[in-house]
Amino acid sequence: MKYFIVTYGCQMNVHESEKIASILENKGYVLAEKREEADIIVFNTCAIREGAEDRVFGNVGNLKKLKKKNKNLIIVLCGCMTQKEATAQKMLRTFPFVDVVIGTFNLPKLGDYIDAVKKGRQLEIWQEGDIDETLSYKRTSGDNAWVNIMQGCNNFCTYCIVPYVRGREKSRKEENILNEIKEIIAQKKYKKITLLGQNVNSYGKDLTVPCSFAKLLKDICALEGDFKLSFMTSHPKDLTDEVIDVIASEDKIEKYIHLPAQSGNNRILQKMNRNYTREKYLTIIEKIRNKIPSCRITSDFIVGFPGETEQEFEDTYSLVKQVQFDSIFAFMYSPREGTVASKMENQISDEIKHERVNKLLNLEKEIQKETGKR
Ligand code: SAH
Ligand code: SF4
Ligand code: F3S
């Protein structure tokens, strides 16, 4: 029996697919080279932008042919998109050949849903769940080992679906993280360890024995072994001086920070509920560059947020120009149902969004040419 996993979205999902692979291998499945050979296909989905969801819809539709050829093929949909009840229902209706549809919190029980397919189609979406410490991972990212340090997000940026599909912030106990990393080091297969969380700088705030992200970094670096440590993603509002100092002083930490700014305009930043200003963001960049001159800095931007004027977009443009990021991701704002921004007035046309995203990406190219940065 063979399995095939299709993963959409962020590193968090990539890492969760490693968990799915482990669950399936424990049930006796082996990896198929292509989906045509599989007895079970799992789509681990993403809901961050409409484009991501459209891709999933199209690709699930294409599975119909495979199911026709192999009546026993099991098709599973999981991840952020199916955590939304309405979307999950719609997928069940649209794709009668899909067998299991579950939400993000149900993943640890994937094996049970697969067993239950004999009795009929499975749909279950839990609204919350604790981090499962009993599961293992089939690591698939070469010499990099992902380590999840927390789940969920409390920030509710007004454009973002993540808090709705991943729940509130929950940190793993430091001891559990350190034990997992010790095991990774002992295997001697991994040169890189990357810590994952939607907002790693607020790690530990919810623990009964509080632990800061800076302390976690220090304690990981104190472990014996030869490895490079990195992490994502940092939120500017919570990036402390202490974290910058630890990055500067620890040789094991990669000199790299991904620090999404989203916009360079204070009115838009406020409407996004980002809780920092352009000036505060620039101060953080200055601190990083003072203390860690060699640090690579990258960022994410959203263009065409509701009500964004040409002048407000120019502020984003000028921020990118001023900071000279090593690279940026620029996204066209995509309204997500249920979020605050999706109900705001003055939604921007696709044409203007395209124009603005192209301007930013051209600027990025110019900067990279000038500075030789990559
Ligand atoms: N937790 C991370 C980012 C998660 S999503 C953080 O806060 O930085 C990754 C990126 O997708 C975000 O940084 C943002 O730029 C983009 N994004 C999120 N929601 C979006 C939306 N509705 N439309 C367009 N881009 C979006
Ligand atoms: Fe979304 Fe904001 Fe949370 Fe990032 S910090 S996941 S952008 S709500
Ligand atoms: Fe990641 Fe997409 Fe979910 S970006 S957290 S897989 S909505």
Which pair of tokens denotes residue 298?
């990258």
∠ CA 75-77-83, nearest 5°, is: 160
* pLDDT per position as a tens digit, 251-300: 999 999 999 999 999 999 999 999 999 999 999 999 999 999 999 999 99
Contacts of 370 (CB under 8 A, 6+ apart): none
Identify which ligand lies nearest to the alpha carbon of 262.
1
> Do 44 and 20 form a contact (C-beta atoms < 8 A)?
yes
Which residue has the least CA distance to atom 5 on ligand 2? Answer: 155
162/46 same-domain check: no
- 298, β-bridge pairs: 258, 327
* pLDDT per position as a tens digit, 199-256: 999 999 999 988 999 999 999 999 999 999 999 999 999 999 999 999 999 999 999 9
Q: How far is CA 244 from CA 78, 107, 239, 255, in A?
A: 36, 35, 8, 10
> Do 221 and 229 form a contact (C-beta atoms < 8 A)?
yes
159/226 same-domain check: yes
174/119 same-domain check: no
Whether residue 133 lies inside any domain: the answer is: no
∠ CA 235-240-242, nearest 5°, is: 140
The pTM assigned to this predicted structure is: 0.96
117/189 same-domain check: no
Identify which ligand lies nearest to the alpha carbon of 79.
3
- Domain boundary, last residue among 124, 152, 182: 124
16/87 same-domain check: yes
Whether residue 130 lies inside any domain: the answer is: no
Residue 373's pLDDT band, with cuts at 50, 70 and 90, is low
96/149 same-domain check: no
Q: Which alpha helices (H) appear in the chain, and where do they start and end?
A: 11-26, 50-61, 63-69, 85-94, 110-116, 162-166, 174-187, 213-221, 241-249, 266-271, 278-291, 310-323, 350-371
Which pair of tokens denotes residue 35?
């989906």
40/172 same-domain check: no
Contacts of 57 (CB under 8 A, 6+ apart): 91, 94
* pLDDT per position as a tens digit, 301-353: 999 999 999 999 999 999 999 999 999 999 999 999 999 999 999 999 999 99
Identify which ligand lies nearest to the alpha carbon of 300.
1
Query: What per-residue confidence (pLDDT) applies to 372?
Result: 79
Whether residue 131 lies inside any domain: the answer is: no
Query: What per-residue confidence (pLDDT) applies to 18?
Result: 97
274 lines ligand 1 (CB under 6 A): no
Whether residue 258 lies inside any domain: the answer is: yes
Whether residue 134 lies inside any domain: the answer is: no
Q: Is the dihedral of CA 255, 258, 264, 267 positive or negative?
A: negative
Residue 32 has φ and ψ, to the nearest 5°, of: -90, 150
pLDDT for residue 44 is more than 60: yes
Residue with tokens 């990195």: 230
Whether residue 42 lies inside any domain: the answer is: yes
Q: Are strands 150-151 and 296-303 parallel, antiparallel or unpaired?
A: unpaired
Atom of ligand 1 nearest to the CA of 160: 19
Atom of ligand 3 nearest to the CA of 44: 6
Q: Which amino acid is at 249?
A: S
Q: How far is CA 39 from CA 7, 31, 94, 96, 315, in A?
A: 17, 10, 21, 17, 52
Query: What per-residue confidence (pLDDT) applies to 307?
Result: 98
> Do 328 and 320 form a contact (C-beta atoms < 8 A)?
yes
Length of the chain: 374
Residue 371's pLDDT band, with cuts at 50, 70 and 90, is confident
Residue 374's pLDDT band, with cuts at 50, 70 and 90, is low
Could you tell me the residue range of the domain that residue 238 belongs to? 144-373
149/115 same-domain check: no
With left for phi above 0 and alpha for psi between -120 and 50, is residue 355 left, alpha or beta? Answer: alpha
Whether residue 9 lies inside any domain: the answer is: yes
State the CB neighbour count (10 A cutoff) for residue 73.
Answer: 17
82/199 same-domain check: no
Task: Report how far ligand 3's centroid is from the alpha carbon of 339 (Å).
Answer: 15
Whether residue 138 lies inside any domain: the answer is: no
Q: How far is CA 171 from CA 132, 135, 151, 210, in A?
A: 11, 16, 7, 10
208/98 same-domain check: no
Domain harbouring 293, CATH code: 3.80.30.20
295 by DSSP, 3-state: which? coil
Whole-angstrom Cα distance, residue 115 to residue 4?
Answer: 17
Atom of ligand 1 nearest to the CA of 258: 8
Task: Report how far ligand 1's centroid is from the alpha carbon of 120 (Å).
Answer: 36
* pLDDT per position as a tens digit, 102-133: 999 999 999 999 999 999 999 999 999 999 99
Domain harbouring 47, CATH code: 3.40.50.12160
> Do 324 and 286 form a contact (C-beta atoms < 8 A)?
no
Whole-angstrom Cα distance, residue 269 to residue 263?
Answer: 6
Look at residues 334, 361, 323, 143 and name the one whose alpha carbon lies nearest to residue 236: 323
Query: How many domains, in total, are found in the chain?
Result: 2
192/332 same-domain check: yes
293/246 same-domain check: yes
Atom of ligand 3 nearest to the CA of 8: 6
